[in-house]
Structure 1
Amino acid sequence: MSSLKTTGTIPSAVYLLALSLFAMGSAEFLMGGILPMIAEDLRISLPTAGTLISAFAVGALIGGPPFAILALCWPSRSALFISQLAFIAATVVSLLAQGYWAILLARFGMGLAYACFWSVAAATAVQLSPPDRRAKALSIVVSGLTVAMVLGGPAGTYISEATGWRGGFWAVIAVTVISAVAVLLALPKHTASDAKEPDLVTELRAMKRPALWVAYATTMFTTAAYMGTFGYIAALLMEVSGLNAEWLPAVLILFGVGAFIGLTIGGRTADGQPRGTLVVGIIGLIVSSAIIALFAASVWATVAMVFMLGLAGFLLNPAVWGRVYVLAPDAPMLAGATNASAFQAGLTLAPLLAGIPISLGYGVASVAWVGVIIAVVSLLLAGLDARLSRTAAHSR
């Protein structure tokens, strides 16, 4: 199928890429809810079971750039389909394996394939969309990860609790198979970039631009700014705010609603006002995190700020992703892959930083102050980016 149907000005294939990212991302967020089941089944300790989460995260963190370089040799559709097949194969191995080490290696392979898909998917969404709709297209693709976080993970946990810990992952495989076939049918055999000869030298040369690394740092720190607080939000709500446990899923859904609203607004504004969208989002993170820290004992204030945390955190996502492609239009594959790794680094860094004040005895609410500090660093990075842009403009 060589032609694309469109929904407005965004090709329908972009929505299918989001579906694929939802399916594959659910495998990352599903693990947290079923670790005790896995530990019991494999007869390992809970911390050891937790390394299965780390294995996926490490694969996703380091896999993007090298696999993006390999993907330069293939048409985008082929690279996407092959990465999905690799993800499915690695997931099947992780479910059929009986020993801890085999599952650990398979989880690492899942992370690698996931990183490869995400990198190519982001670049493909940009290539398929009109220049004035690229941030919107990126927001749609990233929304797949949002749904995975707030719906895919909990839904997979529910399935696993009903069928055994492997059940949720079989559901992930089923959705990934469906989305892989759909992407194969919907995407053209060749995108605009496929017509060009792979130019690794150009892609690598783009990585020397200082502004691009500032953008990567901004991606990492803005992600860590909201994910650190979100990672401990269940403990904060129940232990400090006094929320009943049965209301926790509703609050997590509220975070997801805020994230969707933020992505929708950010996708519309980031094309025309990328820096303004970024700054507003960061300020929103500072304010919402500070209010959580100051009024954590108030369940209503905390719940309201959980919504705002999701809105602000995902409002800025299209802006930080779009900035990378503005800075490196000649290196969409490698630049996008490195930004995906920066996002994953933020996910990995967030709980580590947020856990420091807890380990020092400052209580769960202190994680929100960590979010404030990280968001302030993000704001400084946004200012540095603006300064580099002005310097570049004056030097022309």
Structure 2
Amino acid sequence: MPLVIVLLAVAVFAQGTSEFMLAGLLPDIAEDLAISIPQAGLLTSAFALGMIVGAPAMAAVSRRWSPRLTLSVFLIVFIAMHAIGAMTDSFALLLATRIVAALTNAGFLAVTLSTVSALVPPGRIARALAVILGGTTLALIAGVPGGAVIGSLLGWRAAMWAVAAISVPALVAVMVATPQRAVGTQRPVSLVAELRVLRRPGLLIPLGLGALINGATFCAFTYFAPVITESVGLAAPAVPAVLAVFGIGSCVGVWTAGRHGDAHSTLILVAGGAALFIGWGSLAVFATVPAAVFTLALLQGALSFAVGSTLIAASIRAAASAPTMSGSFATASLNIGAAAGPILGGIAYATAGATGPLVVSAALVLAAALTFLATPRAGVS
């Protein structure tokens, strides 16, 4: 595995920490800025919306730049937005910084996925992507709980400063180790030709499934803190522990997808999707039982990321003829789900309480399963 892939995973860790850590800080942000918890949840949706727009837009704008220049510029702006966000008392400005940070995060991830897919043979795409997504799972295991601990001890602003700080070494690594020229030996493909790839059902199917699965993940994950403190009745310090357990599970899921996703994608999607649906429903039913919450958080983390990672690899393979835009398609798809999930979760939380988002997550997975069963298997092979 090329060393540059590991170094890019370090940067993805920093950005993943920023994207996910607000799940453990929503109550603190809401109290500090005098807003409701569902309104604070919009910060997660705003980040995801920025990534939806930013993935194709930033990839298109920078498609003729070198990977080193592109990734460095994106990271510099990302760091600046966190510094501004940490200093503001305005919810509107904080929301704006999250959107801009998301635009650059989206561009970074889109270019990273495209670069990685060009560095390895087609039969090892899932394994290479697993290394990159390992940065995301490490964010869930260490970054997000760490951010929650920092937030509980020093306030949510300190957590924002921490993300900016850990992004600096990632920036240095990117500036030193990423390629100065576009990877791959393919002749340049026009942007119009790359966008035409989106017409193919074989690409649209895994992209749509990815949006539904990620929507379910973020719908539940964003509202884990209220589930833990309101349904289970545990104290706020228990929130980082549950988030860490979910992160450990996600690491197992990404490893599984990386190890077996290239050869057994259909099996992972069928078995994993069914178990994922049962798991979210069970968590809603047993949300008052601490042992069940911890156990199911582990299982759901593993299943969510095993299925999601497999769908990312499937979409990258299906978009092979769009070398500079393939990563943006996958990034935008996942973040459509990441934007819709917290919004639906907020509505469910406001109307049905802390377990409402868990029921919505189960429904989204069911929708994905029905879509999968209604479409040719070749779309996700």
User: TM exceeds 0.5?
Assistant: yes
Amino acid at match of 1:94: G
Aligned-partner residue type, residue 303 of structure 1:
F
CA shift for structure 1 position 195: 6.2
Determine what percentage of the aligned residue pairs are the same residue: 31
Give the unaligned 5+ runs of structure 1. 1-9
Is the alpha carbon distance of 1:233 and 1:88 closer, same or farther for their aligned partners in structure 2, counting shifts above 3 Å? closer
Range moving further from structure 2, 309-318 or 164-173:
164-173
What SS class does the counterpart of residue 199 from structure 2 fall into? coil
How far the C-alpha of 1:121 sits from its partner, in A, is: 0.9
2:134 aligned partner, one-letter code: S
In 2, distance between residues paired with 1:127 and 1:88? 27
Q: Which residue of the other structure, out of 348, 367, 385, is the alignment partner of 2:357?
A: 367
Greater Cα shift, 196-205 or 323-332: 196-205
Q: Which runs of 4+ in 1 moved over 6 A?
A: none
Residues 1:142 and 2:133 aligned together: yes
Distance 2:47 2:360 in 1: 25
User: Which residue of structure 1 lines up, in the alignment, with residue 114 of structure 2?
Assistant: 123
Cα deviations by residue, 1:133-182 (Å, 9 ceiling, x for unpaired) = 21011122122222323432332343345555433223222221211211
Aligned pair partner of 1:154 in 138, 145, 154: 145
Which residue number corresponds to residue 94 of structure 1?
85
1:111 match: 102
Q: Is the 8 A contact 2:80 2:164 kept in 1?
A: no
Q: Aligned-pair distance for 1:88?
A: 2.1
Q: Which stretch of structure 1 is more off in the superposition, 203-212 or 226-235?
A: 226-235
**1: distance between equivalents of 2:290 and 2:91?**
40
Find out whether 1:68 has 2:59 as its counterpart.
yes
Partner SS state of residue 127, structure 2: helix
Preserved CA contact (<8 Å) 1:59 1:108: yes
Q: Return the TM-score normalized by structure 2.
A: 0.88
Deviations 1:229-269 (A, max 9, x none): 33333333444345455444323222111111111111111
Q: Which has the larger radius of gyration?
A: 1
Query: TM-score of the superposition, structure 1-length normalised?
Result: 0.85
> 1:316 — aligned with what?
307
Please report how far the alpha carbon of residue 296 of structure 1 lies from its aligned counterpart in structure 2 after TM superposition.
Answer: 3.4
- CA root-mean-square deviation: 2.9
Distance 1:39 1:352 in 2: 16
- The equivalent of 1:3 in structure 2 is none
CA distance change for structure 1 residues 297 and 177 in 2, over 3 Å: closer, same or farther?
A: closer
Whole-angstrom CA distance in 1 between matches of 2:199 and 2:209: 17
What corresponds to 1:348 in structure 2? Answer: 339
Counterpart of 1:281 in structure 2: which amino acid?
A: G
Residue 344 of structure 1 aligns with an amino acid whose one-letter code is N
* Corresponding letter in the other structure for 2:306: L
Deviation for aligned residue 1:64: 0.7
2:18 match: 27
Are the equivalent residues in 1 in contact too, given 2:59–2:107 (CA < 8 A)? yes
Task: List alignment gaps of at least 5 residues for structure 2.
Answer: none
Please tell me the residue identity of whatever aligns with 2:249.
Answer: G
Provide the residue aligned with 1:217 in structure 2. 208
Higher relative contact order (CA 8 A, sep 6+): 2
Corresponding position of 1:286: 277
Q: How many residues of Structure 1 are paired with residues of Structure 2 in the alignment? A: 380
